[in-house]
Amino acid sequence: MKWYLLAVIFASLFSEQTIATPQLAQTINCGKATNTVELNECTGREAKAADRKLNQVYQQLRPKISTKQRQRLTQAQLDWIKFRDRTCEYEAGEWEGGTGASAAYLSCLARVTTQRTADLQRYLDR
């Protein structure tokens, strides 16, 4: 049941992070993003992509480990989510009250999630 909860947490995590309308989001070129809306949309895309990859690797790892290790992994992931969120809140705090706070938070989410994915991938590759 915890793995289901974890999946729900990951799936819902980024659902409200971007602020561009669907029409505007389709027209944004992230290679040329310059304003706050574009930067938020693009960093949101990066964070979502990193989250999808993390979930993919996590789901591949679970059936390859013992029940005891699955329990440990689930708890580690729940603890890691708290760590990631607090870390990114801290980083975004430098921009508190400014327009760069959302992009800083989302960029941090993407970076820290990518790091965690690499860790899980190493476990999977053993």
| Average pLDDT taken over every residue of the chain | 84
Angle between helices 36-61 and 2-13 (to 10 degrees): 160
Show the tokens assigned to 41: 């949309």
pLDDT (tens digit, 9 = 90+) per residue, 16-42? Answer: 444 455 555 567 778 776 788 888 889
Q: What is the pTM of this model?
A: 0.77
Is 104 a member of any domain? yes
Q: Which pLDDT score, from 0 to 100, does residue 29 have?
A: 78
pLDDT (tens digit, 9 = 90+) per residue, 55-79? Answer: 999 999 999 999 999 999 999 999 9
Q: Which pLDDT score, from 0 to 100, does residue 35 have?
A: 84
DSSP state of 124: H
Is 103 a member of any domain? yes
Q: Report the CATH number that the domain containing residue 115 is assigned in CATH.
A: 1.20.1270.180
Taking a C-beta distance cutoff of 8 angstroms, is the pair 99, 36 a contact? yes
**Total number of domains in the chain:** 1
